[in-house]
Amino acid sequence: MGKKIVIIGGVAGGATAAARLRRMDETAEIILLERGEYISFANCGLPYHIGGAIENRDALLVQTAEGMAQKFNIQVRPFNEVLSINRENKNVSIREIKTGVTYTESYDALILSPGASPLRPPIPGIDEAERVFTLRNIPDTDVIKKQVDEHQPKKAVVIGGGFIGVEMAENLHERGIEVTLVEMLDQIMAPLDFEMAAILHNHLRDKGINLILSDGVKAFQNNGTEILLNSGMRLPTDITILAIGVRPESQLAKDAGLALGDRGGIKVNEYMQTSDPVVYAVGDAVEVTDYVTGQPAMIPLAGPANKQARIAADHICGRTASYPGTLGTAVVKVFDMTAASTGNNEKRLKQLGLSYQALHIHPGSHAGYYPGAFPVSLKLLYDPETGRILGAQGVGYSGVEKRIDVIATAIMGGLTVADLQELELAYAPPYSSAKDPVNMLGFAATNQREDLVDSFQWHEVDDLIEQDGYILDVRDDLEREIGYIEKSHHIPLDKLRSRIAEVPRDQPIHVYCQVGIRGYLASRILTQHGFEVVKNLDGGYKTYQEVYRPDEGANCEIEVDESGVAHITCAPTPEDINAMEPVARINACGLQCPGPIMQVYKRMNEMEPGQVMEVLATDPGFSRDIETWCRKTGNTLLSSTFDSKAFRCLIQKGRPLPAGGKSPVMADQLDGTTIVVFSEDMDKAMAAFIIASGAATMGKKVTLYFTFWGLNILRKDHAVQVDKTVLEKMFGWMMPRGTRKLPISKMNMAGMGPQMIKYVMKQKNVDSLEVLMQNALNAGVSLVACAMSMDIMGIKEEELIAGVELGGVATYLGKAQESTVNLFI
Ligand code: FAD
């Protein structure tokens, strides 16, 4: 017989250590002691069994005691709790829970993998509270699931916005329960920084979770049927999940005189040995070294527990592997989104006083032209001096965890941000882009380091607004329509050179665009035109908007009555929504902006208030735009789900208009949009009709005023018998007749250019000019032909397509006065 090894704890770390020990040493005597009934179960799957995604309970039992014992020739003893460790005699005393019998077991080596237990602080009323649960193991899961199955609670409160709290909120919601998630901090998911967590806040609210931040539980009242918060609010609840963190189960180790860290974790060296070299400890109970900073840390995750267990087993068997420290790489599903992180976040780096630079980008999860691409919001933290990567975070619908995994690998490989540029990552359109988002982080960070661009952060914007700093929005008109930073000036990027005189030279210029790329281009233009201080908003309006999105987008409203009781009205639950039969179904998959919104608008006009429409779309911007569209047009976005192929939105016609948000500024509802179309270029005409249609769907009164060459766009494509002078006839022959004959503004190449662009548009599913025009007319856009220019150019009313009105300059000026947007194309 070889060494005798006793293991305390039979789940993630314990079972892994036992299996590895056997593989390394066939002669060892291995005893696995587990206090509970089950060993080696899938803790990480527990919330999903409650929610129903993992239907089969047995699937959670990765290994049974009998199976493990047989397969690995191990003595597996469930229901055996270790009471104490006697290091002098090298034995442990054990109580057989079922019989109450105690006995001792000697060891040559001992491995502690007792895990961490959920915190259950002595909050007033907690002992009397009947339906307050924590979740750690299979019995906990059984109790919660039974409660949900048998009592069908209507309201649930989840306390704590960490991994388990968020997963439980989602899974209870999946069961049709109205869920309130209460978090003491101002954000959920502590490994993320605030602005990244804000994306999840919005998503949770959109999904109908009533999210209460910056508030904690003061007391459980009425046997736990009511929760009193620090703010005085009282939340009625039928079931409560307490998920406010875990505490390392290190009492045994402490009683045995083993060294513990400040936060109660068992201290170990790189071989997972405790202060007693024959006693090893792994998993949630140990204090690890932060891989990036070298600081002690408590990081309770399954991956590290498994790796540490393997190292402890190897070391006991005379092998030399060592544990390098923990990065804390983690991922969580939050409804349709994924959030992942690795290394240190900005809060931690600040706390440690380390020098860092933050970088935000929002590239597509894969090539934009392949259906189903979604933006991935990534944040990178690196040392500006050395380029060393300190941490990263990602939130999005697709492709998030793979980018964070690559960065985690890069950190462990000692790569710098410059190396991220060079990483050769797998690419084909359905999976990534030729420049993967990780490469993009490398490029953007290198631009920062080489002083090609200076950036400012989302949290500096408020001060800038207050101090009247010059903020320049270089996005397109339609983007600005959806919302913008208060007091910002607007010059679209392609007009910046011609309108550069409007930008003041006596103060710093703070540029922003939607995600940061056009802001970078604008910064380069301005810098090279002699502007001294130019800064680009890191992450663009997208990052800013997530933080400042007005709460009116939330699907739950809380009204606290005089006695402090919260009355929560949430949007319908998934079950309610499923019960609603859509009267209209739109499949806008493959259509690009503004195609899907146009279709929604058109169909909505034919519906009665209260009726429901279903829309399927793959345009990544659609899910965001439809939310704004609904808010601004007084309709209700009932649900927006995502099945990895398309967004499915259910929209109900009508609802009272919400009060406008403070910041970001939402454009006014009732104003008009006027566009003067002077050019006859096809590409410019298309731009005009896209903007016009977009604005019309937002409820604007849109007027396109065609003058001079622009009139050719409105001409019928065949000759019409009308009386004309010779000069008028000559003019008519020389000018293009109708949309199919229009040139393009650049690369016309004797008419080849328009054909090529039409071909590309068809490939990319972009509507032709003819379709755009018809859509605009259907959406109620007024097409006005300038009577004076018609006269000059000899164009008669009969020659124009149907639906065009004639008007003079007064018509235009009148419309322009009612408009906040006036464009000249
Ligand atoms: P555990 O797996 O908890 O095992 C410890 C075992 O020791 C327990 O079964 C306990 O009964 C037993 N024990 C304790 N004291 C004694 C004693 N004196 N005598 C006998 N037995 C004893 N991590 C991730 O990385 N990703 C996830 O998605 C994820 N999801 C999770 C979801 C939930 C609901 C939970 C609870 C945890 C999740 N985790 C996740 C964390 C992960 O499960 C833990 O990090 C991992 O299980 C830690 O392993 P461990 O061996 O240290 O402890």
3-class secondary-structure state, position 677: strand
Determine the average pLDDT of the residues in 268-296: 98
Determine the average pLDDT of the residues in 248-262: 98
CA of 11 relative to ligand 1 center, distance in Å: 6
Atom of ligand 1 nearest to the CA of 301: 45
User: Is the pLDDT at 662 greater than 50, yes or no?
Assistant: no
User: Is the pLDDT at 733 greater than 80, yes or no?
Assistant: no
Q: Whose CA is nearest to atom 6 of ligand 1?
A: 9
Atom of ligand 1 nearest to the CA of 282: 52
**Catalytic residue positions, numbered:** 44
β-pairing verdict for 132-133 and 239-242: parallel
User: Is the pLDDT at 570 greater than 70, yes or no?
Assistant: no
- Percent with pLDDT over 90 in the chain: 65
Mean pLDDT of the chain: 90
Distance CA 308, CA 322 (A): 9
Query: pLDDT digit string (tens) for 122-158?
Result: 999 999 999 999 999 999 999 999 999 999 999 999 9
pLDDT at 325: 97
User: Is the pLDDT at 666 greater than 80, yes or no?
Assistant: no
CA of 533 relative to ligand 1 center, distance in Å: 53
Decide whether any atom of ligand 1 lies within 6 Å of the 18 Cβ.
no
- Counting Cβ atoms within 10 Å, is residue 692 exposed (0-12), middle (13-18) or buried (19+)? buried
Angle, CA 308 vertex, CA 304 and CA 311 arms, to 5°: 145
Q: Strand runs (DSSP E) across 429-523, as ranges?
A: 454-456, 470-473, 489-490, 509-512
Decide whether any atom of ligand 1 lies within 6 Å of the 9 Cβ.
yes
* 815: its two tokens: 């419309």
pLDDT at 120: 96
Decide whether any atom of ligand 1 lies within 6 Å of the 283 Cβ.
yes
User: Is the pLDDT at 727 greater than 80, yes or no?
Assistant: no
CB 364 within 8 A of CB 431: no
214: number of Cβ within 10 Å: 12
* 124: its two tokens: 């007033």
Determine the average pLDDT of the residues in 676-695: 88
Ligand 1 mutation pick, 43, 83, 98, max ligand atoms within 8 A of CB = 43
CB 28 within 8 A of CB 4: yes
- Read off the pLDDT band of 668 (50, 70, 90): very low
pLDDT at 423: 98
Ligand 1 mutation pick, 11, 136, 405, max ligand atoms within 8 A of CB = 11
Out of 527-541, 565-579, 628-642, which region has the weakest mean confidence (pLDDT)? 565-579
Determine the average pLDDT of the residues in 102-128: 97
User: Is the pLDDT at 243 greater than 90, yes or no?
Assistant: yes
Determine the average pLDDT of the residues in 668-690: 83
- Read off the pLDDT band of 572 (50, 70, 90): low
- Percent with pLDDT over 70 in the chain: 94
Atom of ligand 1 nearest to the CA of 303: 25
- Read off the pLDDT band of 645 (50, 70, 90): confident
CA of 140 relative to ligand 1 center, distance in Å: 13
Residue closest to 819 by CA, chosen among 787, 786, 781, 771: 781
Distance CA 603, CA 342 (A): 45
Determine the average pLDDT of the residues in 724-740: 78
- Read off the pLDDT band of 657 (50, 70, 90): very low
- Read off the pLDDT band of 575 (50, 70, 90): low
pTM of the model: 0.76
Determine the average pLDDT of the residues in 48-65: 95
CB 265 within 8 A of CB 285: yes
pLDDT at 205: 92
Decide whether any atom of ligand 1 lies within 6 Å of the 35 Cβ.
yes
Q: Which residue has the higher pLDDT, 633 or 313?
A: 313
CA of 406 relative to ligand 1 center, distance in Å: 26
Determine the average pLDDT of the residues in 534-556: 82
CA of 13 relative to ligand 1 center, distance in Å: 8
User: Is the pLDDT at 766 greater than 80, yes or no?
Assistant: no
Distance CA 274, CA 337 (A): 40
User: Is the pLDDT at 670 greater than 70, yes or no?
Assistant: no
Length of the chain: 825
User: Is the pLDDT at 726 greater than 90, yes or no?
Assistant: no
Q: Whose CA is nearest to atom 45 of ligand 1?
A: 301
Determine the average pLDDT of the residues in 472-476: 95
Out of 23-27, 174-178, 202-206, 289-293, which region has the weakest mean confidence (pLDDT)? 202-206
CA of 608 relative to ligand 1 center, distance in Å: 54
Q: Whose CA is nearest to atom 30 of ligand 1?
A: 44
Query: pLDDT digit string (tens) for 783-804?
Result: 988 887 888 888 888 888 888 8
- Per-residue b/e over 302-318, b at no fewer than 16 CB within 10 Å? bebbbbbbbbbbbbbbe
Q: Torsion-angle region of residue 31: left (phi > 0), alpha (psi -120 to 50) or beta?
A: beta
Decide whether any atom of ligand 1 lies within 6 Å of the 331 Cβ.
no
Decide whether any atom of ligand 1 lies within 6 Å of the 136 Cβ.
yes
- Read off the pLDDT band of 507 (50, 70, 90): very high
Atom of ligand 1 nearest to the CA of 94: 19
Determine the average pLDDT of the residues in 530-538: 96
Out of 459-463, 648-652, 668-672, which region has the weakest mean confidence (pLDDT)? 668-672
pLDDT at 576: 67
CA of 43 relative to ligand 1 center, distance in Å: 7
Determine the average pLDDT of the residues in 363-383: 92
* Dihedral, 725, 728, 734, 740 alpha carbons, nearest 10: -110
Distance CA 348, CA 290 (A): 11
CB 10 within 8 A of CB 76: yes
Determine the average pLDDT of the residues in 69-94: 98
CB 116 within 8 A of CB 284: yes
Q: Which residue has the higher pLDDT, 376 or 618?
A: 376
- Read off the pLDDT band of 573 (50, 70, 90): low
The structure tokens 């502007």 sit at 531
Decide whether any atom of ligand 1 lies within 6 Å of the 145 Cβ.
no
Q: Whose CA is nearest to atom 36 of ligand 1?
A: 136
Decide whether any atom of ligand 1 lies within 6 Å of the 284 Cβ.
yes
Q: Whose CA is nearest to atom 16 of ligand 1?
A: 114
Where does 400-506 have alpha helices with state H?
400-412, 417-422, 437-449, 461-466, 477-482
pLDDT at 669: 43
Q: Whose CA is nearest to atom 41 of ligand 1?
A: 301
Residue closest to 482 by CA, chosen among 547, 395, 556, 545: 545
Peptide bond into 664 cis (omega under 30): yes
Decide whether any atom of ligand 1 lies within 6 Å of the 164 Cβ.
yes
User: Is the pLDDT at 233 greater than 60, yes or no?
Assistant: yes
Instruction: Name the most confidently modeled range: 418-422, 549-553, 615-619, 718-722.
Output: 418-422
- Read off the pLDDT band of 98 (50, 70, 90): very high
Q: Max alpha carbon distance in the chain (Å)?
A: 118
CB 9 within 8 A of CB 41: no
- Read off the pLDDT band of 724 (50, 70, 90): confident
Decide whether any atom of ligand 1 lies within 6 Å of the 300 Cβ.
yes
Distance CA 677, CA 672 (A): 16
CB 740 within 8 A of CB 771: no
CA of 17 relative to ligand 1 center, distance in Å: 14
Residues 6+ apart with CB under 8 A from 23: none
Decide whether any atom of ligand 1 lies within 6 Å of the 389 Cβ.
no
Query: pLDDT digit string (tens) for 175-186?
Result: 999 999 999 999
3-state secondary structure 118-170: ECCCCCCCCCCCCCEECCCCHHHHHHHHHHHHHHCCCEEEEECCCHHHHHHHH
Decide whether any atom of ligand 1 lies within 6 Å of the 301 Cβ.
yes
Out of 129-133, 318-322, 346-350, 697-701, which region has the weakest mean confidence (pLDDT)? 697-701
CA of 68 relative to ligand 1 center, distance in Å: 18
- Read off the pLDDT band of 778 (50, 70, 90): confident
pLDDT at 621: 67
pLDDT at 102: 98
- Read off the pLDDT band of 571 (50, 70, 90): low
* 85: its two tokens: 């460790």
Ligand 1 mutation pick, 7, 44, 287, max ligand atoms within 8 A of CB = 44
**Residue 174, H or E segment:** helix 163-174
CA of 116 relative to ligand 1 center, distance in Å: 6
CB 455 within 8 A of CB 535: yes
Q: Which residue has the higher pLDDT, 700 or 396?
A: 396
